[in-house]
Chain A
Amino acid sequence: MLKVSDLHFGYRFRPILQGVSCEVSAGEILHIVGTNGSGKTTLMSILAGLTKETAGSITLTCDNQEIADRRQKTEYLPAEANGLYGKMDAMDNLRFWQKLRGLSPSNEDIIAALAQWDLDHPLIRSNFPTEKYSTGMKRRLALARVQLSGTPLWLLDEPLYGLDAKGIVQFQSILSQHLDAGGAVAVVSHDTVPLETFRPKVLEIEKRTAS
């Protein structure tokens, strides 16, 4: 599904990624590992289309068709942000991101997705600003956004940050649903145990050494 070949990236004059190649097919998980500062988050933001690579190619194919605008088929979960409007409730937040994709989900769909993340209580999902959520709740809501996007490729940067044991189980079940439906996932996570059941492909990014 996703094929990255010989990807290079440098910020200003500092080379960060030097020749990264990897491949993920439908139903697979790519686990990107590396030490702090090795460029995992940078790689994710390049894949998400936020940063432009200096050299190399990224191709995304869905149903044997190459996708020109990768953003249409990719959903990104950043490491340190959840992309939530703090003053708005969970329903409005999710609906906004859905509509930008040209989808028009019914309330029931959104509530069903929220139920899988334990956020469907009427007092929590509506008329309750998300800025009052706890860290784990915000992360779960962001994951619900990823789940609802209906895109085949998910890019999850530290998705487990702030999740409790129950949240991790929920995450695993959603992940296997997505993989069974023919989706693919690229994950950056320091917490490897919850991912092991999926037998992920591992991509190790080495930190650049001083020349």
Chain B
Amino acid sequence: MKLLFSQTMTIVRHGFKIEWANPERWLSPILFAITMLILFSFSVGTIEGPDTAKLLVAETYLTAFFSLQISFARFLEPDQQDGVFSLLRTYPLSGSAWYLGKYITVMIMGLLILIPTIFLTSFLHAKSGVSLMSIPVITVAVTALSGMAALGVLLSTMTMGSGSKQILYPLLYFPLTAPVLISAVEASKSILVDNVNLQSLMSSWLGLLLIFGVMSFTLGILLFGELVKAE
């Protein structure tokens, strides 16, 4: 148990060192998010009227989805160099510790993309009077992220050996996370437009997000160990 914890922490700490050593890895998704938001503004124009909140929410989550996908798809790249991943498999490293360590790292990296995206939309569209920087909306967003991150780690591991992973990753990732996008957008919309509180959302959209999160995480813990075991 102690070793499991220390291995998890080693993976997390090392993960951050890698990100720190390769700043472009976390900077590029954020830059991508900014680019997306600018393009949205150009294509949609000034947002006003009754649909303001709806459009802003849609814009934010779509942007976050795309930049998170970029970050998740490239997540295991440092481990692929110089036979690191194979060597990790020969180490007495528990599959759960490995998955958990990667999950925590991805989750924190995801937050560093998600929160700035939400902030940027609210900042750039401050004139519309709708702000997504509220505790309930961020709770919904983080719940959505927890499921996506769990699935993201698993998918990166699966597509690692594939030659066409650049196109394959989004092709698998977006259909699988479609319910997350729907739920996150709908939940945030009801918070902003209808002033619904989180409690009543628990029996609907937020509940669905939680189920997705729990399911992805359970599958991740169960299947990741299987994927890295000696074949």
Chain A residues at the B interface, C-beta cutoff of 8 Å: 48-52, 69, 71-72, 74, 76, 78, 80-88, 92, 96-97, 99-102, 129
Contact = CB atoms under 8 A, between A and B. Distances in A.
Nearest to B9: A99
B49 interface: no
Interface residues of B, number: 24
B230 A96 contact: no
Mostly, the B contact residues are helix
B10 interface: yes
Nearest 7 A/B pairs, CB to CB = A81-B83, A83-B87, A87-B21, A99-B10, A72-B92, A71-B92, A48-B90
12 contacts: A49-B90, A50-B230, A52-B230, A74-B90, A76-B90, A78-B86, A82-B82, A83-B87, A84-B81, A84-B84, A85-B21, A87-B18
Interface string B71-87: 00000001001111011
B22 interface: yes
B63 interface: no
B88 to A, nearest CB: 8
A211 B82 CA distance: 37
A81 B18 contact: no
Nearest to A88: B21
A174 to B, nearest CB: 19
A80 B87 CA distance: 12
B167 to A, nearest CB: 26
A81 B21 CA distance: 21
B78 to A, nearest CB: 6
B6 A92 contact: no
Given A76-B90, A88-B21, A51 B82 contact: no
Contacts of B14: 92, 96
B92 A76 contact: no
Contacts of A50: 86, 89-90, 230
B83 A78 contact: yes
Contacts of A78: 83, 86-87
B228 to A, nearest CB: 10
B7 interface: yes
B17 A84 contact: no
A99 B6 contact: yes
A85 B86 contact: no
Contacts of B89: 49-50
Most buried by A among B22, B83, B93, B231: B83
A100 B90 contact: no
